[in-house]
C-alpha cells in the first residue's frame, strides 16, 4: 500500500509600512507602546497575518503574512480604518 504525505507549504511574504496617526485621531496622552500594541493586535486578528511588529522610533510596522489569505491593500485598509496614514516604507 502506497501512502502519500503532502507537505502543506505556506507562503510567507513580508511587508513594511510607515504609519502615522492622522490629525484629530492622535492621542497626546497615549504612549507609543500602547499605540504599537493596538496596531500589532489589530493586524494579528487579520486572517493570514502571522507576525506584526511596530517600531515606535521609526513609526514602521513590519508584517509577515500569507498572500493566499490576505494582501497589502487589505492590510492598508485595516490600518486606515484605525485612523492611520499609511505609506510603503
| Whether the predicted pLDDT of 6 surpasses 60 | no
Which pLDDT tens digit goes with each residue over 49-59? 999 999 989 99
Q: What pLDDT score does 54 carry?
A: 92
What CATH number has the domain bearing residue 36? 3.30.70.100
Q: What pLDDT score does 16 carry?
A: 96
Looking at the domain assignment, is residue 19 inside a domain? no
Q: What pLDDT score does 38 carry?
A: 84
Looking at the domain assignment, is residue 33 inside a domain? yes
CB 30 within 8 A of CB 89: no
Q: How many domains are there within the chain?
A: 1
Domain with 76, as residue range(s), is 27-88
Q: How many residues does the chain have?
A: 89
CB 65 within 8 A of CB 13: yes
| Whether the predicted pLDDT of 1 surpasses 60 | no
* Cα(58)–Cα(9) distance, integer angstroms: 33
Which pLDDT tens digit goes with each residue over 14-26? 999 999 887 655 5
Amino acid at each position: 500500500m502506497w501512502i502519500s504525505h503532502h507537505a502543506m507549504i505556506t507562503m510567507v511574504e513580508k511587508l513594511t509600512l510607515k504609519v502615522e496617526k492622522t490629525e484629530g485621531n492622535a492621542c497626546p496622552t497615549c504612549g507609543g507602546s500602547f499605540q504599537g500594541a493596538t496596531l500589532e493586535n489589530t493586524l494579528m486578528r487579520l486572517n493570514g497575518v502571522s507576525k506584526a511588529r511596530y517600531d515606535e522610533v521609526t513609526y514602521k510596522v513590519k508584517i509577515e503574512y500569507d498572500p493566499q489569505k490576505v494582501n497589502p491593500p487589505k492590510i492598508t485598509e485595516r490600518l486606515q480604518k484605525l485612523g492611520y496614514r499609511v505609506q510603503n516604507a
